[in-house]
Amino acid sequence: MPKRVSIVVFRECDPSIIYGVFDTLWAAGRLFKGSPGERLLGPSIGGTPLFEPRIVAAEHGPLELITGVSIIPQDSIDEIDETDIVFVPNPIVLTPADLHALDRRIIDWVARMHEKGALICSACGGSLVLAAAGLLSGRETTTHWSHVPVFRQEFPDVRLHEDRILVQSGDGHNIISCGGASSWQDLALLLIARYGSGEEAIRISRFFLYQWHRDGQLPYASMAVNVVHGDAVVLKCQTWLAQNYDRPDVAAEVARVSGLPKRTFDRRFRAATGYSPLAYVQALRIEEAKQMLETGSDPVDAIGREVGYEDASSFSRLFRRQTGISPGDYRRRFRIPDYIRSSSQDARPGG
């Protein structure tokens, strides 16, 4: 059965994330299915849908959003006693007064769905709703950078990571938040990978031209594995690795951090993440190197040293094995195009 997804809407939301999430999850498993040859014949709708998204509001009737666009909810919260996934999009909250003006009926309903076992997701300012519902006390989350002042003022007991794209928290990682703007795409793809497969997430990303936003180390670690686990020891080690992946003997050190015998730790780490500790470290290092190649101009051998490889040839071989191309080719393919750079310079006064 497709997973029931309740996309809750406040008046303070704008429609972009609401409809983007709805369309993406609706398409998963059903849109443009078939063999490559069949897909060349044209658009098709078939297959088994992974999700049944519904737009939910406090009550029925047209709802005018903050942008002036009206939306027609499909369900009211009073009609939904259970759901599999709650997705809270992006209420625009710039002040504490804006936060306190949000419809409390929806906030309380989100808390009830969490108590009944629903996976709770938020995008952009939606994490403020989760915090207001009491779901993030003592836990980690992320949000859009513009919401950080209000968030820190109103919820000082929440560990806020505004630099991260995805944060999973709660028992069994049953609360997932993503940052601002188009990072909802990362969360939607994560849900598709979790309830469908990594292949389906890739297929949908190609269809909609989505790309993972690899802005940091720990978000990548969550996305690379696409496995939700409840092993607190392994999660602690994943967090430690994200901050210390460039150390010389990091695979041995992380076993000591775990406090477990090495063989026991290796077995539990692989069971939870799908990777051996060494392979996990290599993935983190290469992902950080990719980000440096995308955004900076340091020489390839300098980047290799910065992520933990003193030997440039070893770094290049591992990079090619992980990505299928050399570091230089990766930089040429993914760095900001020259025409974008030149356009920006031409637009400047005197350019």
Q: Tens digit of pLDDT for each residue in 274-314? A: 789 999 999 889 888 988 888 788 999 999 999 999 999 99
Q: Is residue 143 a contact partner of residue 177, using CB atoms and an 8 Å limit? A: yes
> Residue 88, SS3?
strand
Cβ burial of 61 (10 Å; 0-12, 13-18, 19+) is exposed
Give 219-244 pLDDT, tens digit per residue: 233 334 434 577 899 989 988 998 89
- 180/160 Cα distance (integer angstroms): 13
CATH fold of the domain at 3-212: Rossmann fold (3.40.50)
Q: Which residues contact 108 (CB under 8 A, 6 or more apart)?
A: 133
pLDDT, residue 110, reads 98
Residue numbers of the chain with a pLDDT score lower than 70 = 32-46, 213-228, 336-351
CATH fold of the domain at 232-334: Arc Repressor Mutant, subunit A (1.10.10)
pLDDT, residue 141, reads 95
Q: What are phi and psi of 298, to 5 degrees?
A: -65, 150
- 308/291 Cα distance (integer angstroms): 15
pLDDT, residue 145, reads 79
Phi-psi region of 308 (alpha: psi -120 to 50; beta: other; left: phi over 0): left
pLDDT, residue 33, reads 62
What tokens does 163 get? 């630099």
- 28/349 Cα distance (integer angstroms): 46
What are the extents of the domains in the chain? 3-212, 232-334
pLDDT, residue 40, reads 40
Residue type for position 325: I
Residue type for position 126: G
Helix (H) or strand (E) holding 7: strand 3-8
Q: What are phi and psi of 206, to 5 degrees?
A: -70, -40
- 87/80 Cα distance (integer angstroms): 14
